[in-house]
Structure 1
Amino acid sequence: MHKLRFVFFLTVFSILLAGCTNDNLVDTNQAMPENNWAYAKSVKATVEIKDINEPYNLYFKLRHTADYRYSNIYVIVHVKGNGLNRNNRYQYKLAKADGEWLGKGSGDLFTYNFPLLTNYRFAKPGKYQIEIEQNMRDNPLTGISDAGITVAKAQVK
């Protein structure tokens, strides 16, 4: 009977452990001092791409407080390395027209995970630098708790 219990718990533990794995190559998060995101405080990450046949998803992670004054945010994303120099400006909606925040969270902290590039294939293997800077009129931008970057292998279906 004890042997059967041991096998059962070992099986359950193995299944739970396998469910905890992810395909993130990079997962950064940078806290903003005093909830202020200044132009000079860009979020940076370096990712090493080994398989150019593999598609990747790049995400912008953001958390803000209820003190954030706008219903959207503009950011500029730079992806550089191995001859690539890609710069894009993105706008993300953070609130509905009535002011209700769209992010997940409770209290006065709201979390978002926005897509930057989906199913993206890098042309060459090697290291790439990703940098995200806020592109709003306010400097510093008040109410931003932290921001980050995730690079993950795309789930092929």
Structure 2
Amino acid sequence: MYRFSAAFLGAIFLTVSCTDSALLDQYLAIPGNAWDYHEKPEIVARITDTVQPYHIYLNFRHTPDYKYANVYVLLHQTLPDGRDTTERIELPLALSDGRWLGKGGGSVYTHQVLIKEGVRFPDTGTYVFTLEQHMRENPLREVTHVGMRIEPTE
């Protein structure tokens, strides 16, 4: 009886923990782990609900050899009506003592940083987000992936 209950509870836990309500969670590979100014990954999100608030995260992966404690990114957004916006975002990646804030270890560290909280999109349709590295070094070495996550708030 105990084995059945433990297995049943384990299956329920796995089912619940694997449920992801994200509208989008995407990582795009950076060729050669060197993010050039001209390499501007695009992420497309189709928004169907203007009432639902969303949290927006910036996804960033790097190797342990990444030289900086942060990264600056220009987030360009094209709305369904064609209007464009751009904002500069700083992602902290390490503590002052050099320990990485992201998850992982070994060959890759993953950061998923909340950049906008409770955002309501003004219109339904296709939104295009373009990520551009905004550091002094070009190319920015040891960056493996960049991306975004958009999830409904609860």
Q: Which amino acid aligns with 2:101?
A: L
1:18 positional shift? 4.1
The answer to whether residue 122 in structure 2 is matched with residue 132 in structure 1 is no
The answer to whether residue 136 in structure 2 is matched with residue 122 in structure 1 is no
Q: Which amino acid aligns with 1:138?
A: E
Distance 1:51 1:97, change over 3 A: same
Once residues 94 and 18 of structure 1 are traced to their aligned partners in structure 2, the CA distance between those partners, rounded to angstroms, is 30
TM-score by length of 1: 0.84
Partner in structure 1 of residue 46 of structure 2: 48
Q: Which moved more, 1:97-106 or 1:125-134?
A: 97-106
Partner in structure 2 of residue 105 of structure 1: 104
Once the two structures are superposed, residues 60-105 of structure 1 have per-residue CA deviations (whole angstroms, 9 ceiling, x without a partner) of 1111112111111100001211334221101121122222222221
Which runs of 5 or more structure 2 residues have no equivalent in the other structure?
A: none
Structure 2 residue matching 1:34: 3-state secondary structure: helix
Once residues 127 and 113 of structure 2 are traced to their aligned partners in structure 1, the CA distance between those partners, rounded to angstroms, is 20
1:37 positional shift? 0.8
Q: Which amino acid aligns with 2:64?
A: A
Once residues 6 and 109 of structure 2 are traced to their aligned partners in structure 1, the CA distance between those partners, rounded to angstroms, is 39
Please, what is the CA RMSD of the aligned residues? 2.1
Structure 1 residue matching 2:14: 3-state secondary structure: helix
1:13 positional shift? 3.9
Contact 1:66 1:108 in 2 (8 A): yes
**Runs (4+) off by over 3 Å:** 7-16
Once residues 91 and 81 of structure 1 are traced to their aligned partners in structure 2, the CA distance between those partners, rounded to angstroms, is 22
Once residues 22 and 46 of structure 1 are traced to their aligned partners in structure 2, the CA distance between those partners, rounded to angstroms, is 19
TM-score by length of 2: 0.86
Higher Rg:
1
Partner in structure 1 of residue 21 of structure 2: 23
Structure 2 residue matching 1:24: 3-state secondary structure: coil
Distance 1:92 1:14, change over 3 A: closer
Structure 2 residue matching 1:45: 3-state secondary structure: strand
